[in-house]
Structure 1
């Protein structure tokens, strides 16, 4: 019965992975065509029309999505670490929501707080992944360290926050190199934000990452503490 449940999880992971892969590949083809035909800058109409730089951002995000999609498989093959299937399913869903729905379908501008929702989701997911990694290492017979519940929770929190900070650095560098707007320092029509407003998106993302990771870390701490006490 347990093997059947694990097989169902693998099937779900495979199905969602295939859907994500097809979506990203088709989005890459779509954005390449749009880069060719889109105007280089605003054409003076009242309604804002996407320009080449907008589609360049989409293309970069879709290519990055294909690359990071393969990370769990690479980790599992190279270091023989079995990442939980549920975690990989959530990871694929996050990539679909962030890249396809967020960038290609423009949910970042259409759906209020879409970016905030995704950062809260990613912070919690990365915190849970931090717990999973430490649990895997603790279970290995070849490793001779067993962290206390507090340090496991601290690692999970720092792991999630570090990943969030690296993502913000990536956005800042890509914006600077390609003249894009990943950090949302400008409105959809190109109007530049000034001062505190220009920083608000980046700082909000980091704060949301920290809060969601902290919630998961505290919950995980009490769960592990209770388990250790019962044992």
Structure 2
């Protein structure tokens, strides 16, 4: 019974991954067509119309999504590490929410605080992954020293926040090199923000990353303390 349960879960994870892959392929085709037919500059000052650079950002995100969605399977194959299926499914869901809904379907502009919601989701997921990574290292026998629940929680918090910082560096670099608007320093109609308003998106993202990761690491800490006291 246990074998069939595991096989069913793995099949579900594979189906979710395949569905995401097909959706991203369709998005790539759609965006390429829009790049070809869209104007390079907005022809109307009264009504905002997406231009070629907007679709270049979408294409970049879709291609990046197609690449990074295979990272868990590559790690499992190369390092002989079994990443929990639940973590991989959450990862696929995040990519769908961020790329397909966020970028392609414009949820970043349509849904209030969509970016904040995704940062909270991703930071919590990454903090959970930090605990999982320590558990995996323990199982492989490479961790030769005892780590208290506090240090495991601290590692998970720092891991999540570091990944958030790396993401902001990626967004900043992409905006500078490709003239994109990933850090939302401009409004949907192209109006550029100045001063604190131009920094607010980045700082809000990092603050939300920290708060979400902190909540998960506190919960994880108390769970580890509980398990430690039961041993």
Superposition TM-score, scaled by structure 1 size: 0.98
**Structure 1: segments with no counterpart, 5+ residues:** none
> How many residues of Structure 1 are paired with residues of Structure 2 in the alignment?
231
Deviation track 1:24-54 (CA, whole Å, cap 9, x = no partner) reads: 1111111111111100011015321100000
Alignment match, 2:206: 206
Deviation track 1:171-224 (CA, whole Å, cap 9, x = no partner) reads: 000000000000000000000011000000000000101100000001000100
Report deviation, 1:143.
3.9
For residues 189-228 of structure 1, the aligned pairs below 5 Å read 189-228=189-228
**8 Å contact from structure 1 (residues 138, 146) kept in 2:** no
Q: C-alpha separation between the residues in 2 aligned to 1:204 and 1:141? A: 39
Deviation track 1:156-177 (CA, whole Å, cap 9, x = no partner) reads: 0000000000000000000000
Secondary structure of residue in 2 paired with 1:73? helix
Q: C-alpha separation between the residues in 1 aligned to 2:218 and 2:189? A: 41
Alignment match, 2:89: 89
Q: C-alpha separation between the residues in 1 aligned to 2:15 and 2:188? A: 34
Q: Which moved more, 1:141-150 or 1:101-110?
A: 141-150
For residues 138-149 of structure 1, the aligned pairs below 5 Å read 138-149=138-149
Secondary structure of residue in 1 paired with 2:154? helix
Q: C-alpha separation between the residues in 2 aligned to 1:30 and 1:159? A: 35
Pair 1:147–1:51, CA change in 2 (3 A) = same
Report deviation, 1:142.
4.8
For residues 108-119 of structure 1, the aligned pairs below 5 Å read 108-119=108-119
For residues 125-144 of structure 1, the aligned pairs below 5 Å read 125-144=125-144
**Structure 2: segments with no counterpart, 5+ residues:** none
Alignment match, 2:73: 73
Q: Which moved more, 1:55-64 or 1:30-39?
A: 30-39
**8 Å contact from structure 1 (residues 72, 88) kept in 2:** yes
Superposition TM-score, scaled by structure 2 size: 0.98
Q: C-alpha separation between the residues in 1 aligned to 2:171 and 2:125? A: 20
Q: C-alpha separation between the residues in 1 aligned to 2:169 and 2:140? A: 34
Alignment match, 2:54: 54
Alignment match, 2:38: 38
Matched, 1:177 2:188: no
Alignment match, 2:4: 4
